[in-house]
């Protein structure tokens, strides 16, 4: 635990910066629920897989390959189902959706945890900047494909980030989704996380009148494999600050797990959470027209993918 976490307070929910995924699920019996977690083989996703399964949920753990998903599921106790879901490959995402649908699995939670950050050089998938494609478009295909399997009170949880604040002016550069004009790694990461946030808010609007919910989460700042693309100086500084100010992986997984399963979050939708409490996001994340436009553009992109 970092020094900061030792002294950080708790919020309205009774949880806060120092709470862990085990803390926020203490006493909960998730037996009978089914939860899909993307990126289950590393960092926060692996901790979410472990703790949700520990509390009795059946957890469908997805990873880029079936081998990675199997290894992750085998490393935790409980009822787990490994599935491949390579978010940068629409065929893989669709196959994952088809497997869940074919098995008739009803999902209580879709936890969109997987992500990549700050790719130093422009990389693309199908002509789109890779962070936008992986973090947003891949999850867009997954969630929209699985909506028919979501239970009447089902929750969709998107891993955004405080980094959504780094998104360009206007939020999304619709005329530069290839990333070719003025590529800046953190700006592109910010845009992808802004897209995750807009998606949660638009989905929440589409859920209006139902008991299904969609929310977005900032997990905190945690030293995980996510930093693998950061330059060595930043990685060094990150390592130095770990014990002073960063969250542990157990603390980092708390907010996504809290929003996924805690009874206090039932019925809360369209919000942005940090430290297990509702938090403020960038004001333009509440621009409903922008979120609607992103949804429409995403549908058009997906329709043209092989």
Ligand X SMILES: NC(=O)c1ccc[n+]([C@@H]2O[C@H](COP(=O)([O-])OP(=O)(O)OC[C@H]3O[C@@H](n4cnc5c(N)ncnc54)[C@H](OP(=O)(O)O)[C@@H]3O)[C@@H](O)[C@H]2O)c1
Catalytically annotated residues:
183
Report the DSSP beta bridge partners of residue 247: 222
Binding mask 104-133 for ligand X (x = CB under 6 A): ---------xxxxx----------------
Q: Which is nearer to ligand X, 162 or 292 (CB)?
A: 162
Regarding 59 and contact with ligand X (CB under 6 A), the answer is no
The residues, any chain, with a CB within 8 Å of residue 291's CB and separated by 6 or more, are 198, 199, 201, 202, 205, 285
In angstroms, the CA 109 to CA 266 distance is: 12
Q: Which is nearer to ligand X, 85 or 261 (CB)?
A: 85
3-state secondary structure of 224: coil
The answer to whether the CB of 156 falls within 8 A of the CB of 108 is no
Query: Binding ligand X by CB under 6 A: which of 156, 177, 222, 294?
Result: 222
Query: Binding ligand X by CB under 6 A: which of 2, 19, 34, 161?
Result: 161
In angstroms, the CA 163 to CA 189 distance is: 7
User: What is the smallest separation between the CB atom of 171 and ligand X, expressed in angstroms?
Assistant: 17
Query: Binding ligand X by CB under 6 A: which of 16, 45, 82, 179?
Result: 45
User: What is the smallest separation between the CB atom of 209 and ligand X, expressed in angstroms?
Assistant: 29
Question: Taking the C-alpha atoms of 250, 252, 253 and 255 in order, what is their torsion angle to the nearest 10 degrees?
Answer: 130
Read off the tokens for 305: 């993918």
Query: Which parts of 71-100 interact with ligand X (CB under 6 A)?
Result: 85-88
Residues that bind ligand X (rule: CB under 6 A) add up to a total of: 30
What is the rounded radius of gyration, in angstroms, for the C-alpha atoms of the chain? Answer: 18
In angstroms, the CA 18 to CA 24 distance is: 11
**Chain residues in the site for ligand X (CB under 6 A):** 39, 41-45, 63-64, 68, 85-88, 113-117, 134, 159, 161, 163, 218-219, 221-222, 224-226, 252
């Amino acid at each position: 635990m970092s020094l900061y976490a030792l002294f950080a307070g708790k919020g309205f929910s009774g949880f806060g910066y120092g709470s862990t995924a085990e803390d926020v699920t203490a006493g909960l019996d998730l037996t009978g629920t089914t939860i899909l977690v993307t990126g289950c083989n590393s960092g926060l996703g692996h901790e979410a897989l472990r703790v949700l399964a520990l509390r009795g949920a059946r957890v469908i753990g997805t990873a880029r390959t079936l081998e990675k998903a199997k290894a992750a599921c085998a490393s935790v106790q409980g009822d787990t189902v490994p599935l491949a879901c390579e978010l940068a490959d629409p065929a893989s995402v669709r196959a994952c959706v088809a497997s869940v649908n074919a098995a008739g699995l009803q999902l209580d939670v879709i936890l969109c945890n997987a992500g990549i950050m700050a790719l130093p050089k422009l990389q693309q998938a199908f002509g789109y900047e890779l962070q936008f494609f992986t973090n947003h478009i891949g999850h867009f295909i997954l969630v929209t494909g699985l909506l028919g399997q979501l239970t009447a009170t089902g929750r969709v949880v998107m891993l955004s980030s405080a980094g959504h604040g780094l998104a360009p002016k206007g939020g999304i550069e619709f005329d530069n989704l290839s990333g070719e004009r003025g590529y800046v790694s953190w700006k592109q990461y910010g845009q992808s996380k802004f897209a995750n946030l807009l998606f949660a808010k638009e989905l929440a609007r589409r859920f209006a009148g139902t008991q299904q919910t969609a929310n977005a989460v900032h997990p905190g700042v945690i030293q995980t494999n996510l930093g693998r693309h950061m330059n060595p100086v930043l990685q060094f500084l990150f390592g130095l600050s770990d014990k002073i100010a960063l969250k542990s992986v157990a603390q980092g997984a708390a907010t996504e797990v809290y929003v996924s399963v805690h009874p206090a979050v039932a019925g809360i939708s369209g919000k942005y959470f940090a430290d297990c409490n509702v938090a403020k996001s960038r004001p333009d994340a509440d621009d409903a027209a922008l979120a609607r436009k992103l949804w429409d553009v995403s549908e058009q992109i997906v329709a043209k993918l092989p």
